[in-house]
Each structure stands twice: as C-alpha cells, then as structure tokens.
Amino acid sequence: MVSHHIIILVYEFVVHNSQLAKRELKKTLEMVSHVSIKLASERVNHSVASNNDPPRFYTPGEVITGIQDFMRGHGTYAEDDCLKASVAGVMQKVNKLICIRPLKSRYVGEIGDVVVGRVLEVQQKRWKVDTNSRLDSILQLSSVNLPGGELRRRSEEDEQMMRKHLQEGDLISAEVQNVFSDGSLSLHTRSLKYGKLSQGTLIKVFPSLIKRRKNHFHNLPCAVSVIIGNNGYIWISPHKSDILMEGNKDAIENYEIQPVGKSERETMARVKNCILALVASKMMLDDTSIMFAFEESLKYDNVKELLDPEAMLDVAFLTQHRINIIAEE
C-alpha cells in the first residue's frame, strides 16, 4: 500500500519535472527581462495539494450541525435550532465543543509567544507596540532590560530617557508576558535574545500560517538569521555579530550603520522571496520549510526570478514534496 503511494508521488514529480525542463530551456534562451506583464488567462493556480485530504471549509452562515447537543466555541453562533459558522474557516471538534478556526484573522496572543512588533507610541511609563492584533500591545518600562543591565527601580529620569531606548518606528522582538481581559497583550524583553532589531527586512504574513514551536529564533545554515514571530511578522537579518552582546554603545551604533555585504544581501533576498512563495501557496512556515524552499530555489540563479508566479509555484510544490517525504519516513 505504501509502495503504491510512493510510486504515484514519484510519477507526479517526474511529470512536473519534464514540464519544468521545457520551461527552464525557454528561460535560458530569453534574456532576463526587466518587466514582465502577464495576461489574466495565463494566471497560475497556486494551490499545492498536500498529502492529506483537504479539510472541510465552512463559510459564514453555513450550517454545521442541526443537533443542539454541542457546545458553541469560537466562530459559531446558534440560529433556528442549528449551529452555524460565523467566520470562514476549518472546523475543530473537541468532544462536544465545536469551534471554527478562521483562515485569515488578526493575531490572538498566548502567554509565552514570541512576537516581532513595531513601536507606535511612547507613553508615560510604557510603549505601545503594533503586533498585528486587534488591539495594540503594551511594553511596560519595567519589562525591559535597561542599558547597563542593572536591576533597579525605574526612576523619573528613566521615564524621560524612554525615547533614547525605543523610538516610534523601532522594531523589537519580545515575548508575551500577560494577556489582559480585553485581549490586548503585555510584552517583555527581559532576556538577552529579545530587544531592538537592527538591519534587516520585515515580512508580514498571515498569523495562521505560523506554527507554535519551541524555538522561534533560527540561524539558518545559509548565514542568515530569521525570527519567526507568532503574530505573522518575520524578521530576516544577517548573522548577529558578537559586538551586540557586549553592550558598548559606540560599537553598536557603528555596527548598525555598516553596509551589509553583497552576498549576504543576496541570501536575505532569496530567503524573503522563498517565504513569499510559501505564503502564496498557503503553506505552513517554520525553519524546515524555509530551508527546503531555499534549497529548491538555488536552481534559479537570479534572485529576482523568484518573483515570477510560476517560479513561486515551482518552489512551493517541491518544498511540499520534500515535506511529504519526511512525513512518510
């Protein structure tokens, strides 16, 4: 039974590969152009079928079940003696509890999540941070490590110096410390691995594509660091140098404005395009899938070729294939 399955997968892979070979030949014959205008009739279907059966989707207003025996969870409401969905998503059933998990939604925080956020405001004893949730998150002054590293009571002076530490527009990596009753999050950066982020690029994706993992800080083997925030903000940066750990103010400032090398820039751009390719095919993001996508994309010499919808589908398809192989082992 298993061997049949593998043969079918290999066949699909071979057929896809021969179509790919034709396209690749065409590409090498053309010059890499600066502009690409495609027609709507040439649009590529980005769905990448995974191994399992596709789950059952519910649309808002659709009847889930007629029996009133079940408890209503998130995303459902009761009308006319039956249970209906209020959001578009996948059903989750736990014993008698039915909830609908929406495909695209704002980030809902849990304690212990790693998030990447942008400082929006500097208020009296706290900062307001944007984390792609319904309400802005809060970073209290008492939840940050003051430069110098001492543990002391925050004085009046510290309040005046808040802007020196974090300004409007700064990006930080933080952990969710607490969830308030209205759903807003309280963050903290009380560890050396959290704090202000320096040079790099930010990508915004749907929070539902990000799995909860033990580790969200990944140093990829291709010399690029990736922070996958649970809130859908992904930060790509070159490998952190040891200078930042020392805490010397002048050395840090100098390092922050050093231009990033060409090869590192290329790798960062490639990782960015791979992540966007996985997002376009609605695949789950974690360090293994990003690494697989990176390796599959190496056959495209020019990084900007990965912006083409066909190339994106190709990378996503091959990554899904590799993930399926691992899942079967």
By the criterion CB under 8 A, which residues form the site for another protein? 33-41, 43, 118, 120, 167-171, 197-202, 256-257, 259-260, 262, 265-266, 268-270, 272-273, 276, 302-304, 306-309
Smallest separation (angstroms) from another protein to the CB of 200: 6
> Which residue number, 101 or 118, has a Cβ lying nearer to another protein?
118
Smallest separation (angstroms) from another protein to the CB of 150: 26
Residue 310, CA distances (Å) to 36, 44, 253 in order: 12, 7, 42
Give the chain's radius of gyration (CA, Å). 23
> Which residue number, 47 or 248, has a Cβ lying nearer to another protein?
47
> Which residue number, 28 or 41, has a Cβ lying nearer to another protein?
41
For 154, the 3-state DSSP assignment is coil
> Which residue number, 246 or 266, has a Cβ lying nearer to another protein?
266
> Which residue number, 12 or 253, has a Cβ lying nearer to another protein?
253
| Beta carbons within 10 angstroms of residue 152's beta carbon | 8
Smallest separation (angstroms) from another protein to the CB of 86: 23
Quote the tokens at residue 295: 């390796």
Smallest separation (angstroms) from another protein to the CB of 56: 22
Alpha helices in 226-308 (DSSP H): 243-246, 249-256, 262-280, 287-297
Determine the residue type at 221: P
> Which residue number, 129 or 318, has a Cβ lying nearer to another protein?
129
> Which residue number, 99 or 234, has a Cβ lying nearer to another protein?
234
Smallest separation (angstroms) from another protein to the CB of 106: 16
273, 306 contact by CB (below 8 A):
yes
> Which residue number, 235 or 323, has a Cβ lying nearer to another protein?
235
Residue 100, CA distances (Å) to 56, 70, 79, 178 in order: 11, 13, 16, 25
Q: Cα-flanking dihedrals φ and ψ of residue 252, to 5°?
A: -65, -45
Q: Which residues contact 131 (CB under 8 A, 6 or more apart)?
A: 107, 109, 115, 116, 117, 137, 185, 187, 229, 231, 233
Residue 251, CA distances (Å) to 104, 161, 244 in order: 42, 20, 8
Smallest separation (angstroms) from another protein to the CB of 35: 4
Distance CA 212, CA 230 (A): 7
> Which residue number, 120 or 243, has a Cβ lying nearer to another protein?
120
Smallest separation (angstroms) from another protein to the CB of 36: 5
Beta bridge partners of 101: 90
**Cα atoms in the Cβ-side hemisphere of radius 13 Å centred on 213:** 16
Smallest separation (angstroms) from another protein to the CB of 300: 10
Smallest separation (angstroms) from another protein to the CB of 213: 25
Q: Cα-flanking dihedrals φ and ψ of residue 287, to 5°?
A: -65, -30
